[in-house]
Structure formats: structure tokens, C-alpha cells
A and B are shown apart, each in its own frame.
Chain A
């Protein structure tokens, strides 16, 4: 029995690969989990759900397992792409993406997919319970609430001495003693969708955003594609501070006992949301809708909060879960298309690269 479901899962993988043209994707082994992750149906396969996501497998795997407890007949295949690769895959008008659900932390790329007509609409009790900023056109749905925070090494800073605003961070970076030279990290804006999103939103809201980027460049900041790398650096003591990293990752490290502290910038705290959408040509949209409803349900949100320390998007699930402060959720909508403009993106990245230390 088990053998047969495994074979069936492999068959699904093959068929998906054949459809998508088997693009070369970095099939990184993350925390001992295979990519793609194949979860055979524990109760005999009656349906298949295929998800492509940019959300790390450790975050998503508990959700998938819990979903299988609810619906044992569903075999699940989860493949992790980078946000850019996911977008390229999904925006291929000619070939179907071959997935029932696309999950990404890059809100702007997901909005671009919806705007360009690659998603299909779905309304239910669960989607209607979302806050207004967290869904658009009934085609894209935010399912997490993640403040972008400043993480610091508790061996170097205390809650009192850590920078609480961007202005304080800028002052620290410009300190003549250069305490953060080579010891600060942030997302690589060209490689990380979430980093690009956060940086462009900073540029929108904060007149000093350019100065902050320049100061980070001056301090030879480490630009990374994954938040985990800078948090590893802080754990190891090679880095002291990380700017604009998702609070959930930091919370995870704190819970695991790492010497890491976290600040929600008091001037304003960007809140991003991982989003899910059902592609227009999903093989099994009914199954995708069922999973989406689960994902947005109190049960699914509860699993996210427990296992991945991700705050629930729905304020009606746990009204005290959300932090208070100058939280500024990024609304899903056509405004997010602006920094996806080819010229605009090139211009922004060019300005960022200008602050990078010249190679050699």
C-alpha cells in the first residue's frame, strides 16, 4: 500500500517536471527535508494537491501534515522555488504552471501575477474574514502577518541600547567609531524578493531611506538572499545587527535559545504577508480552494503560529497576538506594481549597487 502511494507520488513529480520543462532549480536540502517534498496520502489517495512556494519548508511542512490529518486522502507535493523563479514559472503564458497553489512572500510579484491575469478568483467565508489590505480581487490572499524587524546580538546590545528607529540606526551606522563596520546584514535587494519589497516600501515612506542604504553600504553590510544567513551570523558572533528581517524568523531563533534580540522600529514597522493564489490553469482548483480555506481557518493559522511562530493574519483568531505600535501593513493592490516596472526596478537597483563597495 505504502509502496504504491510512493510510486504514485513519484509519478506526479515526473508529470509536473515534464509540464514545466524541468527548469534547473536549486534543489537545496533544507533542514533534512527533500525538495520537492512529497507527502503521500496517509488514508489512500483520492486527491492530489500540488503547491509551489517560496516559503521555507520547515515553515510549511507542519501545515501540510496537519492538513493531511484533516483530509487523509490527499497526496501533497510541495516544491520550493525562489520568489523570482516562482514568478517566472507562473507568468509563462504559454505553459501551465502545473501547481494548484502558489505561495510566496514576495507580495509585489504575486500582485503582478494577479494583475496580469494568471490567477483565478475564489470567495468563501474564510477569505471574507481577511482584513481589507490582505486580499485583492478575490484572487490573492495574505495568510501571515510578519513585521519586518531589526535583529541584534544580545551580547552586543541590550533592549535599551539597540536602535529603536531608523534614525537611531542611521546614527549608529554613521558613528565615527564604526561599531557596525562589517558587522551588519540585510537582504540582497537583487536576489531577494522580500528584501526588494521592504527596501522599496522604505523608499516610499522614508525620505532617509537612501541615506540608510548608503550608510549600510559604507559599513560593508552583508547582503544575503536568505534571512537565515544573517541570523546564523549573529548567532556565531560574526554579525551584530540585521535590518529588515522577518520577525517570525527572529522569533524562531529566540525560541530556540539563540542570543538574538528583536526591535520593531518605532517610527514605522513594515508588515508583509505571505500570499497564496490559485493559478488560472491549476490542475485541481477545487483541492486548492479547500487547502486555502484550511490555511486561512483558525486551525491553519493556529498551526502557523505554533510551529513557525508566524502571527495569524486574521485579527478575529487571536486579537492579542498582534503587536502594537506603528505597524504599517503593505496593502495588496496595483500600487505594488510600481517597483516591478522594468525601468523603475533597474533605477532602484542601480542606486543600491552604487553604494556597494567596489569589487576588488
Chain B
């Protein structure tokens, strides 16, 4: 049995004792207690049974003696029958004592110094004798006493005779040492205890077998899992007892989730590879064309295309990195005090290009500060993606193919609306509105998936931006909504719970 207080490691699991050991220990303890109790009961029973049988012998002996008690002249007389003492020799090694006394306690014959019963038994003997007045004899009372250095069992009974002076009553007492009856008691106890011990051992063995048998499904489960291919995440097929159904069910659900995650990851990798392959192929083609182009102007245009594709690739890689970083930080949950107003300004600073043509981005905010509990880096990344998306998709092409200057409106308000009292706000609502083509209502669910791009999205996006935003908002306990903008365009509306002002 392993020490329950120490944890060990085996097969990659933290082991704390064994079920079998614990079951056996408790059951063994129970059986041991039961055995001790039963043995004590057997001892009491053995003592009682031995007393009962040998007391009958004493009673018979006293009866035989009583037969010969009678009056002789002025006093009591007894012709001690041989059988009265000889029958006691059935307990062959035991000493025998007897006495006959008259009502006043005067010794008639026998041993003069026999111990007297306790007062309670004396009264009982007198009561019995009185009840039997006129009858020849009465049922004796029995008691133990030490006489002549040995434990002795005594019987005392009254005896009546007609025509005797006084009450016409005499007392017969007979005693026998306890060797034989104690030996019988020991034998009964010993036999019973042996039977109890054997029974206990058998019960323990059965217990051991039952525990072993009951735990067999665990072993089968372990074998099935060990024998599996690493990629096999099918539900457990082996039949298990009802008690294990919940654990196996949980294991099956866990494996199903793992399987789904692995699928997502595989799709992601495939998509990422696909997304990177297109610009790389274009890059190579354009680079080769530029190499072969003798006209410096054409060569120049080819190089411009190379630069555009490289930029797109860079953006894709940045988004992948951002995605990975957001996923990582989302699991870490290292939140601290963040001012959303400041974060928006930082995001604007990083996301809005300063080169011409500079887009028109308007940040509308009448809050001094918008505190919340969150991760500033993740929030900034999400906002950058939103602004980037708005700039990219909101940039309309003129009929000549020249990009118009984008118009993006960003609003940060407190909800429910409170006038300049940030501490009273429940959450912050940030909306980013553009004048792009918008997203069809049936697509609003898929655009948040990785690589899930809207059908009328402009080229150059990897489809990661909204997925990143969604993750960040989720990890901050917020909500995201895509709304059509009155007059054309899209509003991305974030609701982030307000944090403590401190």
C-alpha cells in the first residue's frame, strides 16, 4: 500500500495513493473492528455457556444433597449421598466444597468457612426459599468467590423440613473451583474466535478480489488509450461501468474539442500558406518580368508592383504575428489599468499613414479619460486593425481608378450616456464608421473567422483583422457589432466594460 501522504509521479500523472489500497485499508479496518467485537462477544458467550452447563451440575448436586437433609432428634441431619460429590467429578480436576447450615447460620456439617454471597443474591435466595415454603427445595442462586486461594463457583439454596424448630429452614451451599468451566469457556471462545478469524480472512480475500475486479475497466481503458495512434481522437469504444461513464464522457468531449481545434489549426496553416503563396508567386513573376524588361520605364513599373506585393506580404505577416500575439496574450490575461482614450489616440497615431494622400480620419470624443481593466497592447492592436480596415475598405475608387480620400469617423462615448462623468459609466462604446461598401447581413457571422473575408472586400486583406478584433473584445468581456451606416458604409461598434477608475 502506498503512503497516502506522498505524491509521486508515474507515467506523467501525479499519483496520490491507490484506490485499491484505500478500499482495502478501510475494509480491513472495518473487518478488524468487527472481528474484535465478535471475539469479545464470543468470549462473553463462551463464559455464559460454560457457566450455564456447569451451574446445572451444581444445581443437580445440591438437589441430590437436599434429598437426604432432614430432622434427626433435635437438629438437622444429612446423609451426604455419594453421587452428590461424585457427579461433580465430571469436572475431573476441580475441588469441591459444601456446607449445611441451619436457619441461624450454625454449621451442621461441611466446611464452616465458605464465603457468603453478596447481599443482593442472599436476599434473592431468601425470596426464592420463602416462595417455595413447604416445597422441599428451591432453585439455587450462583455466585463466584475466591476460596482457599482458588476462584470458586458457589450455589446456595434453601431447604425446608417439617417439624424443625425455628423456621424449619436450612441452607445448603456447594462450591466447585472453576478449572473445568473456564477450560470449556476458553474452548468455546477459541473455536468461535478461530471461525471468526477465518471468516474475516475470507471476507478480506473476497474484498481484494472484488476491488481488483471492479478496477479492471480502468486498466482496459488505459490499454486502449496507450494502443492508439497519436492522431486518433475518436471517442472511447470500450464499454465501461456506469460509475466511469462521466469521466469517459468528459474525456470523449475533450478529445472532440481537441480534434476540432486541430482541424482549425490545419485549415489556418493551409490558408496562411495559400495566402502567402499568391503574393510570393506574383512577386517572382513581376521580378522576372522586370529583369527581362529593357525599357527602364516598364522596369520601373514592374519594380513598383514588386514593392506593392512585398508590402501586402508584410502586412499579412504582421497580421499573423498580431494574431498569434493576441491569442497568446489572451490566454495570459495580464490585465491592468488602461485609458481607452489614450489607447485610441496611440492607435490612430500608428495606423493612419502620414504620407499623401492623407486620409481624413475624425476622432470624436468628449471624454477626458475612459478607464478600463484590460491589456493596452491587445486593445491597441485591435483598434489599429479596425482603423486599417476602415481605411482600406472605406477607400472608394474614382471612376478613373484613382483612390478617393477615405473618410473615417471614430466615436468614443460612455453608455449609458453621462455628461463628462467617467466614473458613472458602465461601458465604453467605440464606433468606427467608414463609407465603404459595407458587409452583407448574411456575411456578418463569417467575417470574424480567420481568413473569412467579405465578398466585396478590397484585395490586399488577409481576412485576419476582424478575427483579431473579435478575440480581443471577447477576452475583455465586450461585444462587437457590425451595423450599416446611414448613407452607405459600415459601422463597427465595440462595447467594452468600464473598469475601476483607480
Which residues of A are in contact with B by a Cβ distance under 8 Å? 114-117, 136-138, 204, 331, 333-335, 337-338, 341-344, 347
Interface contact B88-A334, CB-CB below 8 Å: yes
Known contacts A334-B85, A334-B86, A335-B82; decide if A343 and B77 are in contact (CB<8 Å).
yes
A343 and B92 CA atoms in complex are apart in Å by: 25
A117-B149, A341-B109, A343-B108 are known contacts. Are A137 and B82 too (CB-CB below 8 A)?
Answer: no
Residues of A within 8 A of B182 (CB): none
Q: How far is the CB of B172 from chain A (nearest CB, A)?
A: 13
- A209 CB to nearest chain B CB (Å): 13
Main SS class of interface, B:
mixed
A-B contact pairs, 15 of them (CB 8 A): A115-B95, A117-B148, A136-B93, A138-B93, A331-B89, A333-B89, A334-B88, A337-B85, A338-B80, A338-B85, A338-B86, A341-B80, A343-B78, A343-B108, A344-B80
A337, B96: Cβ atoms under 8 Å?
yes
Q: Tally of A-B residue pairs with Cβ under 8 A?
A: 56
Interface residues of B (CB under 8 A from A): 77-82, 84-86, 88-89, 92-97, 108-110, 148-150
Residues of B within 8 A of A116 (CB): 95, 148
- CB of B109 within 8 A of CB of A342, answer yes
CA distance A15 to B392 in the complex (A): 138
Is A334 a contact of B80 with CB atoms below 8 Å?
Answer: no
Interface pair A341/B110, CB less than 8 Å apart: yes
Q: Report the minimal beta-carbon distance from B374 to chain A, rounded to whole angstroms.
A: 97
* A117 CA / B111 CA spacing, docked (Å): 13
Across-interface contacts of B88 in A (CB, < 8 A)? 334
Residues of chain A within 8 A of B110, CB atoms compared: 341-342
> How far is A337 from B94 in the complex, measured between Cα atoms in Å?
13
Partner of B84, one of A138, A204, A338: A338
- CA gap between A341 and B69 in the complex, in Å: 13
Please, which residue of chain B has its CB at the minimum distance from the CB of A118? B148
B85–A335 contact, CB under 8 A? yes
**B332 CB, nearest partner CB in chain A, Å:** 88
Give bound CA distance, A117 to B177, whole Å.
Answer: 11
Task: Contact check, B80 vs A343: say whether CB atoms are below 8 A apart.
Answer: yes
Q: State the CA gap A256–B99 with chains docked (Å).
A: 49
Distance in angstroms from B85 CB to nearest chain A CB is: 5
**Most-contacted residue by chain B among A136, A334, A342 (CB, 10 A):** A334
- Asked if A335 contacts B89 (CB within 8 A), the reply is yes
Among B82, B97, B150, point to the contact of A338 (Cβ < 8 A).
B82
Question: In whole angstroms, what is the CA distance A333 to B177 when docked?
Answer: 13
Q: How far is the CB of B183 from chain A (nearest CB, A)?
A: 13
Q: How far is the CB of A134 from chain B (nearest CB, A)?
A: 13
With A335-B86, A341-B78 already in contact, 8 other A-B pairs whose C-beta atoms are closer than 8 Å: A115-B95, A115-B96, A333-B86, A334-B85, A338-B84, A338-B85, A343-B77, A343-B80
Select from chain B the residue with minimum beta-carbon distance to A121.
B93
A333: chain B residues at CB < 8 Å are 86, 89, 92
**Nearest-Cβ distance from residue A78 to partner chain B, whole angstroms:** 29
Q: Which residue of B lies closest to A342 (CB)?
A: B109
| In the complex, residue of chain A having the shortest beta-carbon distance to the beta carbon of B77 | A343
Q: Which residue of B lies closest to A341 (CB)?
A: B80
Docked-complex contact A117 and B150, CB < 8 angstroms = yes
* Min CB–CB distance A128 → chain B (angstroms): 14
With a cutoff of 8 Å between Cβ atoms, the chain A residues found around residue B82 in the complex are 204, 335, 338
**The 3 residue pairs across chains A and B that have the minimum distance between CB atoms:** A335-B86, A117-B148, A334-B96
Residues of chain A with a CB closer than 8 A to B150's CB:
117
